[in-house]
């Protein structure tokens, strides 16, 4: 029988996996898998999804970031702080997805204008 903690972890893993197995271009069709083949594969996948989510949040080209991260970890690089997504992005501006940055700025501008319009209308 599964505990509430196991259920919560399964839901969290499912939410992290949606960009890969969910909808949209490049998504693998079908339902989100609840496990990944073995008991030890789940935590490993969760780490990988966390790394990819950090890259997405900081608008970094994910595979360039993951490749550099894995190479540095394999080489026992002592500068772990430099591998954090925000610091890595500052050191590698060529890997920042500018089209995503422009999209988010455009969306933020539209949102601000819509909110200002609603505020002006309610007064």
Q: How many domains does the chain have?
A: 1
Which residues contact residue 14 at a Cβ distance below 8 angstroms, ignoring those fewer than 6 apart?
Answer: 32, 34
Rounded Cα distance between 51 and 57, Å, is: 10
* pLDDT tens readout for residues 66-101: 999 999 989 988 888 999 999 999 999 999 888 777
Each residue's pLDDT tens digit in the chain (123 positions)?
455 555 656 666 565 555 554 444 455 555 555 556 777 787 888 888 899 999 988 889 999 999 999 999 899 888 889 999 999 999 999 998 887 777 888 999 999 999 999 999 887
Q: Give the SS3 label for residue 30.
A: coil
**Residue 11 included in any domain:** no
**Residue 43 included in any domain:** no
Residue 83's domain comprises 57-122
Which residues contact residue 110 at a Cβ distance below 8 angstroms, ignoring those fewer than 6 apart?
Answer: none
pTM of the model: 0.55
Ramachandran region of residue 85, left (φ > 0), alpha (ψ -120 to 50) or beta? alpha
Task: Work out the end-to-end distance of the chain between its first and last CA atoms, rounded to an integer number of angstroms.
Answer: 56
**Residue 42 included in any domain:** no
């Amino acid at each position: 029988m599964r505990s509430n903690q196991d259920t919560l972890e399964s839901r969290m893993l499912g939410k992290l996996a949606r960009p890969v197995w969910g909808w949209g271009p490049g998504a693998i069709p079908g339902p989100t898998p609840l496990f990944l083949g073995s008991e030890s594969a789940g935590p490993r996948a969760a780490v990988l999804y966390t790394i990819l989510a950090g890259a997405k949040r900081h608008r970094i080209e994910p595979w360039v970031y993951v490749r550099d991260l894995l190479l540095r970890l394999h080489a026992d690089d002592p500068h772990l702080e430099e591998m954090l997504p925000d610091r890595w992005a500052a050191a590698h501006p060529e890997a920042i997805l500018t089209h995503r940055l422009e999209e988010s700025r455009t969306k933020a501008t539209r949102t601000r204008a819509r909110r200002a319009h609603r505020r002006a209308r309610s007064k």
